[in-house]
C-alpha cells in the first residue's frame, strides 16, 4: 500500500487526475419541526440541559441527602451543588455519571430523557454518538439522506447521493531506502461523497510515521491535490532525491509538526520538488 514516510522516506505515484407539493397540514408541521437531525439533536440537548437542575435537586431530596453531603461525596463545595441546582452552572459528563451512582438514578432520568415514557435504545445512542463525531459536511449528508427516506415511500425513487472514485495507490513498502512506483504498481479506488471539496482530490495516500502528529497520525489516509507548489505554512508532498515526504513547507526547510522529529533543512544541490498539496485526512 502506498505510504508517505514521515520520519522514513518513500516514493509515491502521481495522481490522475423546494418543498414537494402535498398536504397543507404536513407542510405546516414541517415548518415547525427541526430542519435537520442535527437541529433536533441540539434542541433535545438544550431541553435536557434546562431540565438538569430540577432533576439533580429532585433526585438529591429523594435520597434525603443535603447539598453539603452531596458536595463532600463528589469532592466539590456546597456552592458548586447550589449553582447546579439553580442552573448557574452544570456538571461535566464524568460528574453526571458520579451523580447517578450516588443518587441511585440513571443518565436518562437525570437528563429528563424519560418524561414521555420513551428512552433511547442502545442502538439509538450508538448512532447519535457516531453522528456527533462526523464533520459538518458529513452531518449534512446524513440529514439529506434521512429527509429523502422520509419523503419517499418507495425506496426505488430515492435520489441517493453520488460518490466519487478516487485513485488509491498501493505498493509494498521498502524499509529505509524508500519505495518506487513503477508502471506495475497496483491502483485501487476509494469511494468518497461527491462534494465540491472532494472533487479537488487527485489521489489518496496513507501516512507512514509520526513526524506530522498530532495533525496527521500514522496510518491516516490523506487527500492529495496534484500541484507543483504550496504556500509557506501549508502541508504538501515533496520529493527529495527520489524519496517522498509529507511535511509543512517553510522558507528554508520542510517542517515536522512533531517536535521529536527534526526538520529537513534545504542545502545547496538538494534535488527537491513539490508534487501535491495535502487537503486533509479522510
What integer pLDDT is reported at residue 37 of this predicted model? 52
Specify the fold of 24-119: 434 Repressor (Amino-terminal Domain) (1.10.260)
Beta-carbon contacts of residue 236 (< 8 Å; ≥ 6 apart) = 229, 230, 246, 247, 249, 274, 275, 276, 277, 278
35 - beta bridge partners? none
Residue 281 DSSP SS3: strand
Contacts of 72 (CB under 8 A, 6+ apart): none
pLDDT of residue 29: 40
Residue 244 near residue 39, CB atoms below 8 Å: no
| Cβ neighbours of residue 260 closer than 8 Å, sequence gap 6 or more | 210, 211
Q: Could you give the CA distance from residue 119 to residue 114 in angstroms, rounded to a whole number?
A: 5
**pLDDT score at 66:** 92
**Buried-exposed string 32-60: b where 16+ CB fall within 10 A, e elsewhere:** eeeebbbeeeeeeeeebeebbbebbbbbb
Q: Where are the domains of the chain?
A: 3-17+163-281, 24-119
Residue 224 CB-density burial (10 A; 0-12 exposed, 13-18 middle, 19+ buried): buried
Assigned C-alpha cell, 88: 448557574
SS3 238: strand
This model's pTM is above 0.85? no
Q: What is the mean pLDDT of each run of 10 residues along the chain (282 residues)?
A: 46 37 38 51 55 86 90 91 88 84 82 58 78 82 77 58 79 33 65 86 86 88 90 90 86 91 89 88 88
CA distance 51 to 109: 10
Residue tagged 502528529 (cell numbers): 213
Class of domain 3-17+163-281: mainly beta
Q: Pick the closest to residue 234 from 214, 220, 254, 218 (CA basis).
A: 254
The DSSP output letter for 167 is E
Which residues touch 229 (CB under 8 Å, ≥6 apart)? 236, 274
Amino acid at each position: 500500500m502506498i505510504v508517505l514516510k514521515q520520519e522514513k522516506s518513500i516514493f509515491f505515484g502521481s495522481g490522475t487526475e423546494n418543498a414537494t407539493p402535498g398536504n397543507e397540514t404536513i407542510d405546516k408541521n414541517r415548518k415547525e419541526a427541526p430542519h435537520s437531525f442535527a437541529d433536533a439533536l441540539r434542541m433535545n440537548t438544550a431541553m435536557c440541559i434546562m431540565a438538569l437542575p430540577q432533576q439533580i435537586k429532585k433526585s438529591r431530596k429523594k435520597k434525603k441527602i443535603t447539598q453539603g453531603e452531596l458536595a463532600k461525596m463528589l469532592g466539590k463545595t456546597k456552592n458548586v451543588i447550589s449553582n447546579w441546582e439553580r442552573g448557574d452552572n452544570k456538571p461535566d459528563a464524568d460528574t453526571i455519571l458520579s451523580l447517578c451512582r450516588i443518587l441511585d438514578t440513571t443518565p436518562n432520568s437525570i437528563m429528563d430523557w424519560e418524561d414521555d415514557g420513551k428512552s433511547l435504545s442502545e442502538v439509538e445512542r450508538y448512532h447519535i454518538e457516531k453522528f456527533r463525531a462526523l464533520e459538518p459536511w458529513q452531518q449534512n449528508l446524513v440529514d439529506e439522506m434521512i429527509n429523502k427516506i422520509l419523503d419517499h415511500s418507495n425506496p426505488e425513487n430515492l435520489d441517493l447521493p453520488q460518490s466519487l472514485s478516487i485513485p488509491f495507490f498501493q505498493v509494498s513498502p521498502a524499509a529505509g531506502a524508500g519505495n518506487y512506483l513503477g508502471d506495475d504498481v497496483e491502483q485501487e479506488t476509494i469511494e468518497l461523497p461527491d462534494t465540491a471539496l472532494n472533487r479537488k482530490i487527485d489521489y489518496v495516500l496513507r501516512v507512514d510515521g509520526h513526524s506530522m502528529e498530532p495533525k496527521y497520525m500514522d496510518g491516516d489516509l490523506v487527500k492529495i491535490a496534484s500541484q507543483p507548489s504550496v504556500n509557506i505554512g501549508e502541508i504538501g508532498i515533496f520529493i527529495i532525491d527520489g524519496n517522498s515526504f509529507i511535511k509543512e513547507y517553510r522558507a528554508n526547510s520542510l517542517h515536522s509538526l512533531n517536535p521529536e522529529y527534526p526538520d529537513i533543512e534545504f542545502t545547496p544541490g538538494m534535488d527537491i520538488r513539490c508534487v501535491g498539496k495535502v487537503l486533509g485526512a479522510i
